[in-house]
Amino acid sequence: MTENTDPTAKRPVDVVNAMYAAANRGDMAGVTDAYAEDVVIEEAASLPFGGVYHGHDGFKAFIDAFTGSWEHFSNADLQVLDAGDTVIGLSRLQARSKRGVDVDVPLAEFFRVKDGRIVELKPFYFDGEAITRAIRG
Q: Is residue 122 a contact partner of residue 107, using CB atoms and an 8 Å limit?
A: no
Q: How confident is the model at residue 1 (pLDDT cuts 50, 70, 90)?
A: very low
Specify the long-range contacts of residues 38-42, CB closer than 8 Å, at least 24 apart: 38/119, 39/117, 39/118, 39/119, 39/120, 39/121, 40/119, 40/120, 40/121, 41/120, 41/121, 41/122, 42/120, 42/121, 42/122
- The pLDDT of residue 43: 97
How much of the chain, in percent, has pLDDT values that exceed 70? 93
Give the tens place of pLDDT for each residue, 44-101: 999 999 999 999 999 999 999 999 999 999 999 999 999 999 999 999 999 999 999 9
- The pLDDT of residue 9: 65
- Domain locations in the chain? 12-136
What topology does CATH give the domain 12-136? Nuclear Transport Factor 2; Chain: A, (3.10.450)
| pTM recorded for the entire structure | 0.90
